[in-house]
Amino acid sequence: MRKDFGPLGEDHAIQIHDPPAGVGHPVHRQPQHVGRIPALVGRVGVWKELADVAEGRCAEEGVGDGMEEHVGIAVADRGTIVRDGDAADHQRGARTEAVGVVTETDSKHGAHSSGDVTVFPYTPAMHNTDPAAEPTPDDTVIHVARLAKEYRVFDKPEGLAASIRGLFHRTSRVVEAVKGVDLDVGRGEFVALLGPNGAGKTTLLKLLSGIITPTRGTATVLGHVPWERADDFRRRFALVMGQRNQLWWDLPAAESFRLHQEIYRIEPARFEKTRDELVDMLDVRRLILQPVRELSLGERMKLELVAALLHEPEVLFLDEPTIGLDVVAQHTIHEFLRDVQRRRRMTVMLTTHYMKDVAALCERVVVITRGDVLYDGSLAEIVDRFTSHKIVTLDFDEAPDRERIERFGFPCDFRGPQVILRIDRSRIADALPVILGSEGVRDVSVEDVPLEEIVAELFRADSRQAAAGASS
Amino acid sequence: MSDAAAMPAKPFQGLRTWWTMLRICLEERLVYRGDFALGTLMRFLPIVTQVFLWTAVFAATSRSDIAGYSRNDIVAYYLLTMLTRAFSSMPGLATGIARSVRDGSVKKFLIQPVDYVGFLLAARVAHKLVYYAVAAIPFALVFFLCRGYFPPPPDAVTIAAFLLSLVLSFLLGFFMEAALGMLGFWFMEVSSIVFGYMLVQYLLSGHMFPIDLLRTVPTGVAGVSLADVVHWLPFEYTAYFSSAVWLGKVQGRDLVAALAIEAGWVVVMAVACRIAWWRGTRRYSAFGG
């Protein structure tokens, strides 16, 4: 569907800046054209349509306080945005001079509202959706191609006699922790790596932070091969492992921060500014002068994050940052990470087992099982693609007659006056009025299947498939 | 972003970083200062048995000196050896490195732009400085009580050579043990290797007896005693050598040559340590991590 843009008015200046977070390959490039396109007029459509234009790369993200930020694409022609574009527009390259990314900041005005417009000169490469095409180093921060890591593990047989034999002859086998992963992450993306234990998530993070070398394949992070461990690279990223500390156990965190200032060569004024900012965001100022060993797990984690962010890394790897933390601490850390990531346009990759982390932070989800990428896409899409039904919760005045409910023909779960139904998404529109018409319904809620369940199902399906593959 | 944040490398940047590491390690060590005070005094206890042993040896023989050492010399020797060991011994260094490999805390040094060996050196200097600060009083007390055993102090040049040998013995001890600890990249458990090293070290460093006693032990090669062989090995420079310098056993050209051998071993061990770190981390990256 196409819409024509109405007049936007002269007061909306075009701002030329980096594309907003979440908008990455393949549509966007760093703006090379800096200047004002006169009399720009435009209107933004709803994001879902525009997302289609951007090959599903457009994202909708909440910014708190009930405000929503919409990101869309508009096509400008000879200095005028003529409409929100689609692939056909891009293909008429001769008529298209620029592509604008419109950030709609006020959702109350719906499709008619306006906001900052970022304009990129149009190039045919912008709609190059061939995944094999080399991305430019400008906006691809992490580039992984057919990356694989094998470990040789030695079997430790049981029993003394076997152990003695093992001294002379050890049996080993090769474990493929990561097998041929392809992945591109653009600047400013917040990516979640999900997968069951032993899927290869942490191995992938270790590869990308240069702790281990791969068996096959290549990767670059910020243009560097991580495992070459160049200082120039190491000054530009950080890795935080949930259960490992970089802070000195017996000293106040402030001392560890000082050490980071030196080893990362942070200018003193800038160091103090950054430190105070981070410390205040997490409300831990009073803790930095206390020996780290006296702090709680949550407090330590917050200070670990401050330490990791002092040198303003462009890429941050987080390995289970919220493991073992209470809900309040988790929430604080979510808010903090989201805030810092936005402000700095930092690229973040995180592994976690908590779907709350994912829902709160990540637009993009990469599911890894058995060393392979099973799914790579938006969080919204994962729900779309992997669930066939919705959860309908009905509250009755009193426990309803089971048979009456079962007659609807949906799997149901009775919990006193509450009944939980799983209804096929294609049938929900027809089924709901009928169900609501039944006697004594006091309240109803319709929800998507919880993310935990979807992901668990994804993992299970994959391991079933693996078992089937192994037995055939 | 961080391009702007990172300062260009200034002259002495490495030194400044090192100084900050040293300062922070010092603070950390001071947390445990209480440990040292008692431990230091306890260390003098084995000497008492040595003194008794040698008293018995001298009583059983009619000779007034053994391998050039009088009874008093022997006591002075052991006390000086204690002092040298305070420089060259590196408690927990090798096992600490191996542990950091085993438990993965060594990863930090792969991720951060900081040199592990340099960091360990700073930590060890801090460790020693705090130790000297605490141990100075018990040491001074013991040396004062035993002043009668010492010959008159040597000339300024010998004292300078003695101090230089102490500094070199610190570096030698550090790099030897650090290189040993790096074996942790290849073996899960280095404590038995460290134990073997300690045993050889104890025998050949002069910690157990002055190396001069080995002058009469033949090696099978005509005119070459075991002491001559040990002289070319690194061990005696971590205990015997400094004491022998103070007591005037090594002088003139021999002194210069011995200092050169010691310095040579420091370089060899420092290089070995680097190579072990470099190869070790490569192995670590390839196999585990």
Does residue B57 belong to any structural domain of this protein? yes
The pairing of beta strand A216-221 with beta strand A237-241:
unpaired
Q: In the structure, what pLDDT confidence band is assigned to residue A154 with cuts at 50, 70 and 90? A: confident
Domain that holds residue B237: 12-287
- The radius of gyration of chain A from alpha carbons, rounded to an integer in Å, stands at 26
The pLDDT of residue A69: 29
A250 to B31: CB separation less than 8 angstroms, yes or no: yes
B285 contacts A227? CB cut-off 8 A: yes
Residue-wise pLDDT for B53-112, tens only, equals 888 888 888 888 888 898 889 999 999 999 999 999 998 999 999 999 988 889 989 999
CA distance B111 to chain A (A): 6
Contacts with B16 from chain A: Cβ below 8 Å: 262
pLDDT in tens, B250-275: 999 999 999 999 999 999 999 999 99
B9/A265 touch (CB, cutoff 8 Å), yes or no: yes
B115: nearest Cα among A311, A233, A229:
A229
Does a structural domain hold residue B106?
Answer: yes
The 10 Å CB-count burial string (b at 16+, else e) for B228-260 is: eebbeebbbbbbbbbbbbbbebbeeeebeebbe
- Has residue B4 been placed in a domain? no
Q: State chain B's maximal CA–CA distance in angstroms.
A: 81
Any domain includes B5 = no
The pLDDT assigned to A62 comes to 24
Q: Pick A212's closest partner by Cβ from B1, B24, B289.
A: B289
* CA distances, B136 to each of B41, B140, B201 (Å): 11, 6, 25
Q: CB distance B31–A251 less than 8 Å?
A: yes
Q: Least CB-CB distance to A151: which of B17, B21, B287? A: B287
- Report the pLDDT averaged over residues B225-234: 92
Residue A139 φ then ψ, to 5°: -115, -5
- Out of B104, B111, B284, closest to residue A234 by CB: B111
Contact check, Cβ <8 Å, A246/B5 = no
Report how far apart, in Å, the C-alpha atoms of B161 and of each of A31, A250, B238, B248 are. 67, 38, 14, 11
Give the number of domains in chain B. Answer: 1
Share the mean pLDDT of chain B: 88
| Average pLDDT over all residues of chain A | 72
Q: In this structure, is residue B208 part of a structural domain?
A: yes
- pLDDT, position A350: 93
Q: Does B3 reside within a domain?
A: no
Contacts of A213 in chain B (CB under 8 A): 282, 285-286
In chain A, the percentage of residues whose pLDDT exceeds 90 is 31
Q: Which tops the pLDDT comparison, A45 or A454?
A: A454
Chain A nearest CA to B135, separation (Å): 22
Model confidence band, residue A52 (pLDDT cutoffs 50, 70, 90): very low
Q: B110 to chain A: which residues are within 8 Å by CB?
A: 210-211, 229
Which of A239, A256, A265 is nearest residue B111 as measured by Cβ atoms? A239
- Residue A162 is predicted with a pLDDT of 77
What's the pLDDT at B288? Answer: 65
Interface of A with B (CB under 8 A): 151-152, 206, 209-213, 227, 229, 231, 234-236, 238-239, 241, 244, 246, 248, 250-251, 255-256, 258-259, 261-267, 270, 274, 291, 311-314, 344-346
Are the Cβ atoms of B104 and A244 closer than 8 angstroms? Answer: yes
pLDDT classification of A100: cutoffs 50, 70, 90: low
Residue A472 has pLDDT above 60, yes or no: no
A255, A291, A313: residue with CB nearest B2: A313
A244 contacts B111? CB cut-off 8 A: no
Q: Is residue B58 part of a domain?
A: yes
Q: Do A262 and B20 touch (CB under 8 A)?
A: yes
- Give the residue, A48 or A374, on which the prediction is more confident: A374
Question: Contact A259/B9, CB-based, under 8 Å?
Answer: no
Instruction: Determine whether the interchain pair A258/B20 forms a contact, defined as Cβ–Cβ distance below 8 Å.
Output: yes
Peptide bond into A26 cis (omega under 30): yes
To the nearest whole Å, the CA of B4 is away from the closest chain A CA by 9
User: Taking CA atoms, what residue in B is nearest to A274?
Assistant: B5
Judge: B113–A231 Cβ closer than 8 Å, yes or no: yes
What mean pLDDT do residues A76-101 have? 41
Prediction ipTM score: 0.81
Considering the domain boundaries, does residue B1 fall inside one?
A: no
Closest CA to A438 of A392, A387, A471: A392
With CB atoms and an 8 Å threshold, state whether B108 touches A246: yes
Of A213-227, A271-285, B168-182, B209-223, the one with minimum mean pLDDT is: B209-223
Among A88, A121, A77, A120, smallest CA distance to A102 is for A120
Which of B2, B119, B127 best tests the A interface by mutation, with the highest count of A CBs <10 A? B2
Of A378, A376, A462, nearest to A183 by C-alpha is A376
Å from B83 to nearest chain A CA? 29
Higher pLDDT, A5 or B150: B150
Residue A358 tokens read as 């994912």
Q: Which DSSP symbol is given to B91?
A: T
Given this model, what pLDDT does residue B49 score?
A: 85
Q: Which of B15, B109, B111, B119 to mutate to test the interface with A (most CBs of A within 10 A)?
A: B111
Tell me the sheet residues that pair with B215.
none
